Structures are given as C-alpha cells and as structure tokens.
Amino acid sequence: MSAVNDTQFNSAVFFLTGIPGQEDIHLWISIPFCFMYVISIVGNSVILFIIKTDPSLHEPMYIFLSMLAITDLGLSISTMPTILGIYLFNSREISLDACFTQLFFIPSLQCIQSSVLLLMAFDRFIAICYPLRYASILTLPRIAKMGLVCVLRGVAVILPLPILLKRFRYCRVNVVSHSYCVHNEVMKMACSDITVNNIYGLFTKLLTMGLDSLLICLSYLMILKIVLNITSHAECLTALNTCVSHLCAVLLFYTPAIGLSVIHRFRKGSSPMLEVILGYISMLVPPLMNPIVYSVKSKHLRVRIIRVFIK
C-alpha cells in the first residue's frame, strides 16, 4: 500500500487555471500578456545594460536600481512559462517538482525584491538626511555585502517552504486557482496536518514584507521630518522629488502583494476573480512599470537610454 501511495505521490500533477469563464478567448488574452512580458524583459535588460556600461551611473542609487531590475527579470522568467503556456497552448498541467521549483523561486525573488526596496529607502534616507556622509557610508564593498545579505535572506527564509510541502501526500482537488503555483493553495491540497506550514508561511510574510514595509515607512517618516525643516520651498520639493520613483515602486510591489496575502488567509466570501486579478498584478505590473517609472523620473538614465536608441 505504501508503494502505491509513493507512486501516486511521485506521478501527481497540479492543474493551473487561467481567467475563470474566459477559456474561449485565452488566445486573445495572451496578446497583452506577451506584450507585458516583452516590455518587462526588454525594459529591465536595457536598464541593466545602461548602468553596467556607463561609469557615471556606478552610484549607489543606480546600483540598487540594477538589483531591482534583476529581481524583476527573475520574476518575469519564473512566471512566464506557466502563464503563457496556459493562454497560448492550453497547457495546464504542472508536475510536483516544477511546482515546488516555482514555489521556491517566486517567493524568494519577492523576498529579495522587498529587501532591495528597503535598501533603496535607506539610500534615500542617507542622501537626504546625511548628504555629506553619503559617499562614505554607501561604499561599493558595503553595497555588495548588502546585496549578498538580501539574497541569502531570501533563500534561507523561503527554502523551507517547498521542503515542508514535499514531504506531504496530496489527495484533495489538485486545481490551483492561479496560473502559477501559490504556497497557500498547494498547502491546502495536502492530506496531512499543515499547521506547521501555515504558521511558518505567516512567519515568512511578517519577517520579510511585513518588517520591510514597516522599516520603509519609518525611513520616510524621518525623511519627511528632515524635509519639512528645510526653509527653501524649492529645495524641499527637489528632495521629495528624488523619492517619487522609489515610492511608486514600493506601492506597485506591496499593495497587490499584501492584498493577495490577506485574501489567501481570509478568503471566505472574497471574489475569485479579484484574487486572480491581484495575482496577475503582483506578478506582472512591478516588472513592467519599474523600468518605465525610473526612466521617466531619472533624467540621467533617460538621456542615456535615448542616446542608445538614437545611435
């Protein structure tokens, strides 16, 4: 009996879902998805290329932006095969191993991106509150160590999630309501006690996005306190203007992610369509909009991008 169960476990698959009730027009829906992926990958790749090849952009703010672009590329690549597979080829099946791989890369990249957004808030805090010490505090070796800590934190915190899920047997309805694997949904399909997974999943959210968003808010409160003490109105607006791009990136990342997390935890009575839409927004919109927002708001970056395409 044990051998039969092991065979069922190893050969099990999950079925991913597109937009409910819109199966007849999946091919048409794939067009905007393809467009968003192309813009995301090209936009973030251009940002990385410009920053790498232009020595004048080898500054802390742009180095942190390159880290953000890398995580955006990672998120796009992690979700693209399953989302486009559903809408272009109606390929809904995903094996356990592929699902667990996605369950590692997507949350860990989100955790790393949350850490990078925190580092960018710290960068703005130092630039505005301690401008004379900016270069001495944010040195290249120190930035490299910060980036390494972000990666190690994301891997260390998220790695137990797929490991804990892999030891379960799955006997319930194996249909995921998203176009990619989501920890909370896969966890609830297990025919075992999931208390540990539930507690640890909540712990990871609080330790990563919860803590990071709180520290970002605190940094901006201190920035606002310093800026309001500036007597010159023009200098005050200039200081605040340097934060606009980062604030947009923070809102684009945290708003749908936190909303989706709340729905997954307290989904009783919530609209399935709202859950699906928030899922797509959290995965597709930040990688799409971040390079656009930073290109528009950063004059130095915009000028260099224009030069590349004009040549």
The domain limits of the chain are 2-310
* Residues 147, 199: Cα–Cα separation, whole Å: 28
- Residue bearing tokens 């920053």: 51
Residue closest to 127 by CA, chosen among 238, 53, 291? 238
Q: Are 100 and 197 in contact (CB under 8 A)?
A: no
Q: What's the pLDDT score for residue 108?
A: 95
Which residues does residue 190 pair with via DSSP β-bridges, in sequence order? 170
pTM equals 0.90
* Residues 236, 296: Cα–Cα separation, whole Å: 21
* Residues 276, 271: Cα–Cα separation, whole Å: 9
* Residues 63, 66: Cα–Cα separation, whole Å: 5
* 3-class secondary structure, 21: coil
* 3-class secondary structure, 294: helix
Question: How many C-beta neighbours within 10 Å does residue 181 have?
Answer: 24
Residue closest to 127 by CA, chosen among 294, 212, 239? 239
Q: What's the pLDDT score for residue 64?
A: 95
* Residues 307, 303: Cα–Cα separation, whole Å: 6
Q: Are 48 and 57 in contact (CB under 8 A)?
A: no
Tokens of 85: 């597979």
Orientation angle between helical segments 211-228 and 233-241, nearest 10 degrees: 160
Q: Counting runs of H as helices and runs of E as strands, what totals does the chain give?
A: 14, 2
* Residues 184, 197: Cα–Cα separation, whole Å: 9
Q: Are 154 and 109 in contact (CB under 8 A)?
A: yes
Residues of the chain below pLDDT 50: 1-11
What homologous superfamily does CATH list for 2-310?
Rhodopsin 7-helix transmembrane proteins (1.20.1070.10)
* 3-class secondary structure, 20: coil
User: Sign of the CA dihedral 300, 303, 309, 311?
Assistant: negative
Torsions phi, psi of 80, nearest 5? -60, -45
Q: What's the pLDDT score for residue 24?
A: 82
Residue type, 219: S
* Residues 227, 246: Cα–Cα separation, whole Å: 16
